Amino acid sequence: MVALAYDGLCTFEFGVAVELFGLPRPEMGPGWYRFAVAGVDDGPLRATGGIRMMTDGGPDLIAQAGTVVVPGWRGVEAAVPPALCAALRTAHARGCRLMSICSGVFVLAAAGLLDGRRATTHWRYTQALATRFPAITVVPDVLYVDEGSILTSAGSAAGIDLGLHLIRRDFGWAAANTVARRLVVAPHREGGQAQFVERAVPVPHEAARLSPLIAGLADDLATPHTVASLAGAAGMSERTFLRRFAAATGTTPARWLTAARIARARALLEETALSLDAIAAATGFGTAAGLRHHFTPAVGLTPSAYRTRFGRG
């Protein structure tokens, strides 16, 4: 994993890359990312906030990378060095993955790597990206776009969302959730379209008697639940229960259960060889048809296609 550094470096975006991929994480085992910083300008480099930094090497590190992160760029109108564009094209041609955060998309665009692809960037820059690079399909209403070997994120904080998505792709949902907890962020924030990441399970906070109920629901997704049964278990009227549940989770019990069941189904599809019927039974969807009915619109793939793409078997 190589993150680019440049004169005028966007400090927050660079920090996102370091926090996600550059910190030692012994709990993840020996296969975790090896991280280096490649300077694309002669150093020392200036960064936003008056910081000056040295790097691990120059653009030659790009040739050794399995993934290159472009953490912003010094300006959407700023020229991208031809040598950097050539290095990125060569890296991508040999199979290197490329990821941009916020305005870093303009570097990939200048290299011609986004032509004919979908991409996104900060909402302030989407029109400029579409105007300057009409061969790109700019998607303005999402947190990130995953085009397989090229991934782009919206504004700066959306780089965290994209980075967690990449970790989930590489190491699974449990690893991504672990990193999210370390960062004290949600494993997933909803964008304008379904994303292939773990949905955050809302943290209950409305009342002491509601908290264990919601925790119990997460552990017992296979059992049918109704508003009446949940309200009774909480010792509330149905109206009070619905109001307090919405205050605690931001949604209805039915929607919360569906999201939790889909999240659990994703985990089982990734980590096990259970049949679709067995997964449906374990997650409260009943049958494989019921699982497909709820899973496909939410995730954008059928359960079988999701397993093919993200399963470990």
Write out the two tokens for 132.
């300057």
Domain tally for the chain? 2
37, 68 contact by CB (below 8 A): no
> Is there a catalytic annotation at residue 102?
yes
In a domain, 211, yes or no: yes
- pLDDT tens digits for range 160-207: 999 999 998 898 878 888 898 888 886 666 544 333 333 333 343 444
In a domain, 113, yes or no: yes
| Amino acid letter for position 80 | V
State the DSSP H helix or E strand holding residue 281, giving kind and residue range, or none if neither.
helix 276-283
Phi, psi for residue 5 in degrees, rounded to 5: -125, 145
Q: d(Cα 69, Cα 11) in Å, to the nearest integer?
A: 14
Whole-number average pLDDT of the chain: 88
| Amino acid letter for position 201 | V
In this structure, the answer to whether residues 179 and 231 fall within a common structural domain is no
pLDDT of residue 205: 44
In this structure, the answer to whether residues 168 and 275 fall within a common structural domain is no
Write out the two tokens for 260.
């939790």
Q: d(Cα 237, Cα 240) in Å, to the nearest integer?
A: 5
270, 307 contact by CB (below 8 A): yes
In this structure, the answer to whether residues 26 and 168 fall within a common structural domain is yes
CATH code, domain carrying 304: 1.10.10.60
User: Is 95's pLDDT higher than 50?
Assistant: yes
Tell me the H-state helices in 73-185.
82-93, 105-110, 126-132, 158-171, 173-183
pLDDT of residue 202: 39
Q: d(Cα 61, Cα 161) in Å, to the nearest integer?
A: 25
Catalytic residue among 10, 85, 96, 102: 102
User: Is 216's pLDDT higher than 90?
Assistant: no
pLDDT of residue 206: 46
In a domain, 245, yes or no: yes
Phi, psi for residue 209 in degrees, rounded to 5: -80, -20
User: Is 94's pLDDT higher than 90?
Assistant: yes
In a domain, 175, yes or no: yes
- Mean per-residue pLDDT, 77-88: 96
Confidence bin at 270 (pLDDT 50/70/90): confident
Query: What one-character DSSP code corresponds to residue 9?
Result: B
Q: d(Cα 300, Cα 309) in Å, to the nearest integer?
A: 12
Domain with 124, as residue range(s), is 2-183
In this structure, the answer to whether residues 14 and 85 fall within a common structural domain is yes
